[in-house]
Structure 1
Amino acid sequence: MTAPGTTLVIGATGTTGSRTAARLAAAGHRVRAASRRAAPVPGAEAVRFDWYDETTHAAALEDADRLYLVPPVGDPDPAAVMLPFLERARAAGVRRAVLLSSSAVPEGGPAVGAVHAALRRGMVEEWAVLRPSWFMQNFTGSHPHADSIRESGTFMTAAGDGRIGFVDADDIAAVAVHALTDAHAPCTDLVLTGPEALSHDDIAAVLTRVAGRPVRHRRLTPAQLRDRLTAALPEEFAALLADMDRAIADGAEDRTTDTVHRVTGRPPHSFPAVAERELRRAD
């Protein structure tokens, strides 16, 4: 592929999008930062973008030759809006797309798994699918877990004793930048984890030590979690998230990979290090 032109980062104010846009801009790449409010991002051109408003798509795609794709949040069928957009992007000259998916969603699986399958079938010339494990920032940023911890010192899951290779969003962004700008695109999916698999009780223990106050993991059944989530999310999506926790409890996410180290040349950050970095920064 020729030298990078403009990279359109969709979800540029989100957890991974903001970090990816910032890293690209800092490295001197031309970045168009897309969000629903066209919020400014240092070093990037801000543009309004809404998955559900096609009138925002053409301006976002102008002169872009690569995309960082964050699916619409909370949509159980993101392919319905993402695949037509990718067709339009290809026609507009986009040659490379990097999709944010999940370690829990295989190619052809539910939700964004259909977009993953379309990329492998050749939706664009060059591609990668990032399949990170659960974000470490879920406990330190703007996620409901983090909000609950700040408000009550507790967070709730239906994951039981299941362990997860939680990953730092900074590491996801570092891999995304390589996938977007390296001479050769991965043209595969990349499962991203941190250096160790931890249970939610382990997470609570680390947060208790770092924050200097008790943090407790409250255990729910999958049905209880689904019912709680349904108050804020579409029922189908709430059921999907509850089923993911059930799978975690059964060991589906108890793994680590060397992908971050292999792609970036450095080891992934540990959860204690990220908690220290982000909770100290917030104080």
Structure 2
Amino acid sequence: MTTTRATQATRATRATRATLVIGAGGTTGRRVTAGLIAKGRCVKAAGRTPTPQPGAQPVRFDWNEPATWTEALDGVDRVYLIPPTGSPDPAEVMLPFLHQARTAGVRRAVLLSSSAIPAGGPAVGRVHEQLPGLFEEWAVLRPSWFMQNFADPAPHARTIRDDGAILTASGDGRVGFIDAEDIAAVAVHALTDEQAPNTDLILTGPQALSYADVAAIITDVTGLPVVHRQLTFEELRDRWAAEIPLEFATMLAAMDRAIAGGAEDRTSDTVERLTGRRPGTLRAFVEREVRAAASH
């Protein structure tokens, strides 16, 4: 009886602690925040310029300002991790934060990575590799390319609007494009389920499509002529390097080259298996988020 009461007390204490969502105003972060609130969870919505969200406590957080970490972690036992944007070595700031998070009482960490980056790989791959040693409860989400890459304000959306073209170095390679809504649904499951996944999860949509297929779907749904324009690795790298550091631009161009070689030509059942719903199609996404923008 005493053990049962102790277990109930422990669960009650955990229920009152918060989940920290880093990047809460971003593509997946705002959706994860909304999903947690819908489940009645206490959420601290973190960002460099925290945006108030109904039902969440806004808190300032900057990966490059450790002074912001303590307040963000106060009263938190779970954390959704969005790596710092554009950093070729996010582990440099993320690992010290994760050590502090563990000391502060965080028990479960869910990391957003990429299907293109394995444990121990470049960029966030080193964080992925060390996460199981830091937390007993964890998950690494490894989604394929986001469907949101074709909607404003993403670069593909700009070239679709300005040039009627999607520019890649992916050749005829296919990708299991995934809706951020489905990524967020898996993240909410990983953060709230009684048992943490304790593994990495490949997340895709229901179909593997080439960029030419994507262009054809956008054309069909919106009525705007869109084509896939193929670039060389060097052309794409230099295009990215005009906006971001060369090292990161090179890594992104290499990912496109890997797509051309078939690295992303796959689908998984993870979304449906964990959430109970089938992942959304690219056509449905374009109808929802691209067609309306194209009409303005």
Counterpart selection for 2:144 from 128, 133, 136: 133
Number of residue pairs the alignment of both structures matches: 282
1:160 aligns with 2:167: no
CA deviations over 1:118-151 (Å, ceiling 9, x no partner):
112x211210000000000100232111122122
CA distance in structure 1 between the partners assigned to 2:187 and 2:162 by the alignment: 33
CA distance in structure 2 between the partners assigned to 1:154 and 1:100 by the alignment: 29
CA distance in structure 2 between the partners assigned to 1:134 and 1:229 by the alignment: 17
Q: Give the 5 Å matches for 1:173-188.
A: 173-188=184-199
SS in structure 2 opposite 1:261?
Answer: helix
CA distance in structure 2 between the partners assigned to 1:69 and 1:141 by the alignment: 23
- Higher mean Cα deviation, 270-279 or 182-191? 270-279
- Higher mean Cα deviation, 24-33 or 109-118? 24-33
Instruction: State the match for 2:84 in structure 1.
Output: 72
Q: Give the 5 Å matches for 1:1-150.
A: 2=11, 3-4=14-15, 5-120=17-132, 122-150=133-161
Q: Give the 5 Å matches for 1:195-210.
A: 195-210=206-221
Q: TM-score, normalised by structure 2?
A: 0.93
CA distance in structure 2 between the partners assigned to 1:281 and 1:63 by the alignment: 41
SS in structure 2 opposite 1:107?
Answer: coil
The answer to whether the Cα contact below 8 Å between 1:26 and 1:43 also exists between their aligned partners in 2 is no
The answer to whether the Cα contact below 8 Å between 2:150 and 2:290 also exists between their aligned partners in 1 is no
CA distance in structure 1 between the partners assigned to 2:162 and 2:291 by the alignment: 18
CA distance in structure 1 between the partners assigned to 2:291 and 2:30 by the alignment: 20
| Aligned-residue offset at 1:209 | 1.1
| Aligned-residue offset at 1:281 | 4.7
CA deviations over 1:62-119 (Å, ceiling 9, x no partner):
1010000000011000000000000000000000000000000001111100000111
Runs of 4+ in structure 1 off by over 4 angstroms are none
CA deviations over 1:132-172 (Å, ceiling 9, x no partner):
00000100232111122122322210001000000010000
The answer to whether the Cα contact below 8 Å between 2:145 and 2:175 also exists between their aligned partners in 1 is yes
Instruction: State the match for 1:212 in structure 2.
Output: 223
Letter in 2 for 1:270: T
Letter in 1 for 2:64: Y
Instruction: State the match for 1:270 in structure 2.
Output: 281
CA distance in structure 1 between the partners assigned to 2:221 and 2:76 by the alignment: 42
Instruction: State the match for 1:252 in structure 2.
Output: 263
SS in structure 2 opposite 1:14?
Answer: coil
Question: CA 1:7–1:99 in 2, change beyond 3 Å: closer, same or farther?
Answer: same
- Higher mean Cα deviation, 170-179 or 32-41? 32-41
Q: TM-score, normalised by structure 1?
A: 0.97
CA distance in structure 2 between the partners assigned to 1:142 and 1:178 by the alignment: 28
Q: Which runs of 5+ in 2 are unaligned?
A: 1-9
Instruction: State the match for 2:3 in structure 1.
Output: none
SS in structure 2 opposite 1:15?
Answer: coil
The answer to whether the Cα contact below 8 Å between 1:7 and 1:30 also exists between their aligned partners in 2 is yes
